[in-house]
Amino acid sequence: MGSGGRRPGPRGRLAVLDEYRTRRAPTGAALRQRAILAALAPGGEPAGRTRTGVARRAAPGGRAKWKNVYTAVMQDIDEALVPLGLVEEAGRMPPRRGPSALREHGIPYYHLTRPGMLVAAAFAPDADVAARLAQLFAGSAGEEARVGRALGALAGAAPGLARAVLEGHVREFCEGRQRRLLPLTADKLAVGAGGEVRASAGFLAGVMGLGEEDRGRVGALLGAISGAR
């Protein structure tokens, strides 16, 4: 696996948090890099993790559109995600046909490093956040293991908040204020926490400090307000 995830260098940059200047919406580059990381996150057969396989899975509009994004996906992998330590070549597949040089060297396929898993978890669907975190922190020890267990538990109850905590940390890395994504500590997460995350964290800490009966009352009230059953 890769190291802690290097700060963006001259060959490329992490664009997962880029937004249009005129509106608060992710740019095409942001969505594409998120899609590449999401395509590699589950692992799976090598054929699905080649550049073509990733382009097929990451293409907006489905597999029929993959050729439209192939070149951009290839550049993102080669010029940003690999140099930044988020993606690594995992091996090479022997092609069935093609130029002799390709048959000799094979087709590269990729996997996420641990820093890549962290960024992927920050943009995962609700149902996948806890699983992505379990994958990331498997084998961790010390403070990182404690943070990982806490984030996993938070993701099970409030995946949106867990994502927001991770996203704040990723933003610190993207903007050069954090040199490495890993190892992960509570102090690093605190630095990246924005106002909404801090407010939510303060609320949860307050609720956890209540007695059992009051926690039950607050939980019932919040469940009714949110529509949870």
The 10s digit of each residue's pLDDT in 176-202 is 999 999 999 999 999 999 888 888 888
The single-letter DSSP state of residue 5 is -
Q: Supply the pTM of this predicted model.
A: 0.85
Amino acid at 162: A
* Residue 138 pLDDT exceeds 90: yes
Whole-Å CA distances, 148 to 102, 130, 209: 41, 10, 22
- Does any domain span residue 86? yes
Looking at residue 47, its pLDDT comes to 92
**Lowest mean per-residue pLDDT among 16-30, 88-102, 118-132, 144-158:** 88-102
- Does any domain span residue 9? no
What integer is the mean pLDDT of 156-165?
Answer: 92
- Does any domain span residue 185? yes
- Does any domain span residue 140? yes
Domain that holds residue 80: 28-193
Looking at residue 24, its pLDDT comes to 87
Half-sphere exposure of 211 (CA within 13 A, CB side): 2
Query: Which of 61-70, 117-126, 199-208 tops mean pLDDT?
Result: 117-126
- Does any domain span residue 184? yes
What integer is the mean pLDDT of 116-135?
Answer: 96
The domain total for the chain is 1
Is 136 in contact with 121 (CB distance < 8 Å)?
yes
